[in-house]
Amino acid sequence: MKTVSRVYDSYAQANAAVNALERAGIPARDISLVANKYVSAKYADVDDVSDAAKGAGVGGAVGGAAGLLAGLGLIAIPGLGPVVAAGWLAATAVGAAAGAATGGVAGALIDAGEDRLHADVYSEAVRRGGTLVTARVPDAEVSRAEAILAGYKPVDPVLRDAEYRKEGWRSFDPKAPPYRPSQAEVDRMRANWPS
């Protein structure tokens, strides 16, 4: 099994990518989505995730017939704080604080075989409002999964890294202050969010 990951600037792109992966026969249990909490008006003002709410969306869709997106919920991930998420990567990222050296989403991506630069850029992109989609696929299906994800205009991690570095960014910092998007950014992030 290989891990294929892409990050999108809007939830709409990520939503479409997840649906396309599921239509292609990739089981929901092998797909993950991690989004900035601002994609949902319901979660935008949450700054602390109670122990009762932690993991609410992480395992909900695993093995479920309704698909991954039906299991979205609010969880706390080290380095990102409250995020809207579902799937195996989110569950790994929540537990990564105890196991992975890097922790959080970056640590979970690195543990799954993702390049460190991409893991850092993807984590920073989620912190700044993006939505990460990750799929575990058999080696023979990697090209097909990559083509599906590419069809929804993901962020180019090399270009995004260069943009971030122009601002003084060096790598994902789990201790960075919470990101507060503008209303225009919130509107972009929420595109196609279910009511």
pLDDT tens sequence for the chain (195 residues): 999 999 999 888 999 999 999 999 999 999 999 998 888 777 778 777 654 344 444 444 333 445 676 667 787 777 787 888 888 887 777 764 444 445 688 888 998 899 999 999 999 999 998 999 999 999 999 999 999 999 999 999 999 999 999 999 999 988 887 777 887 777 777 766 664
Q: Are 17 and 67 in contact (CB under 8 A)?
A: no
Helix, strand, or coil (residue 57): coil
Could you tell me which residues come within 8 angstroms of residue 164 by beta carbon, excluding any fewer than 6 positions away? Answer: 121, 124
pTM: 0.85
